[in-house]
Structure 1
Amino acid sequence: MIVKEYGKSNKDIIMLLHGGGLSWWNYEEVSEILKSNYHVILPILDGHSGSDRDFTSIESNANEIIEYIDNNYNGNVKLIGGLSLGAQILLDILSKRDNICEYTIIESA
């Protein structure tokens, strides 16, 4: 999984999951604002612009994100937000690990 990051020096981590047909650039403008206070992570979902692999399933993307958070952030981040397809992936993540983040934003799941 390829990720874009902003504000790497900040402690509080926000992950934003883009919708179908979009990519990390959907959150580029807001990430520029948030980076002064947060470490913003923008995963590129499989099968979308800039991705290194084809889309297979919501579940495989969810598992990949859980593994990424486990390996890089001790299994927990401050907030995960998801739009459309990203929200569906987020719901799958939460069904497996309800303690993976303190807050969520789910839009158009």
Structure 2
Amino acid sequence: MKFHEFGDKLNPHIMLIHGGGNAWWNFLRQGRVLSEKYHVIIPTMDGHGEEYETPYVSTEATADKLMKYINAECDGKLFALCGVSLGGQIVIELLSRKADLTEKAIIDGTVCYPTPFMKTYCIWTAKLMGPLLFGKKASERLLKQMDKMTPEKMHYPQEIKDYYMEDMPRTPKETLYTMYKTYMNYNLKESLRDTKAEVMYWYGQKEMKCVKESAQLFESYVPSCKIYEAKGYNHGHLAIYLPDEWLELAYDFFGN
């Protein structure tokens, strides 16, 4: 696991955790802006990006490494912890590990209960559609499709496209298989009920039913959680494609 850091280490710490199949650059634009006031840490998970040669294991194993870093480099305490999709599930797991780990937490577009059908569907889709999903040509094609199918405000800037083309073609298929298997088999821990963090659970209006149900389930464990539905948006749109809107909501939540 590699950690990208921005800003003064003496400032309050914020950790941003990317989604499955992508890498640290998911949050690069937010990280640069936040670094004006905070020390921002953006990890690259095992099996992703420049860490593609290290096998991805599970949500829990990833949380183990992040806790080790937080304890060693941040005195065991963060100001904010944010994650999208798989990253959001890892945020949930971290909240379960230590009640006072962070003051604020944002969970975005995350599933937090077992979904066996979705697990099987995603694994077999990745296997059957491999030639269309993996490799340099596939990545170039997907980037062009994203530009055609989304509004201009959601297009990646060239810097992010360059990172995308560097990292996506080398993502091991095994990373995705293991990720789907563990991500969609996750259960909330009872210790989550003890968290002292202020939490927001975001999801897009067009998200799958299991994501919206996950928000409600999480709220049953953490009644103080505030749920936010991003009108007109789909999975991860705020975090991945709309950093300015993400920052506006996050700064309001952080009290800035």
Q: Is the structural similarity TM-score above 0.5?
A: yes
1:76 aligns with 2:61: no
What is the aligned partner in structure 1 of residue 21 from structure 2? 21
What is the aligned partner in structure 1 of residue 91 from structure 2? 90
**Contact preservation (8 Å) 1:10, 1:37:** no
Q: Secondary structure at the match of 2:49?
A: coil
Question: Over aligned residues, Cα RMSD in angstroms?
Answer: 1.2
| Cα drift, residue 105 of structure 1 | 0.3
Structure 2 segments unaligned to the other structure (5+ residues): 111-256
1:105 aligns with 2:106: yes
Query: In structure 2, how many angstroms separate the alpha carbons of the residues matched to 1:30 and 1:11?
Result: 16
Query: In structure 2, how many angstroms separate the alpha carbons of the residues matched to 1:63 and 1:37?
Result: 27
Q: Secondary structure at the match of 1:16?
A: strand
Query: In structure 1, how many angstroms separate the alpha carbons of the residues matched to 2:72 and 2:12?
Result: 16
Which of these two proteins has the greater Rg computed from alpha carbons?
2
Runs of 4+, deviation exceeding 2 Å: none
| Cα drift, residue 9 of structure 1 | 4.2
One-letter amino acid matched to 2:22: L
Q: How does 1:52-63 map to 2 (within 5 A)?
A: 53-63=54-64
One-letter amino acid matched to 2:94: I
One-letter amino acid matched to 1:58: T
Distance 1:9 1:76, change over 3 A: closer
Cα deviations by residue, 1:55-89 (Å, 9 ceiling, x for unpaired): 01110001110111001111101000010000111
- What TM-score results when the alignment is normalised by the length of structure 2? 0.41
Structure that is richer in helix per residue: 2
Structure 1 segments unaligned to the other structure (5+ residues): none
Structure that is richer in strand per residue: 1
Cα deviations by residue, 1:39-66 (Å, 9 ceiling, x for unpaired): 1000111111111511011100011101
Query: In structure 2, how many angstroms separate the alpha carbons of the residues matched to 1:82 and 1:98?
Result: 18
What is the aligned partner in structure 1 of residue 6 from structure 2? 6
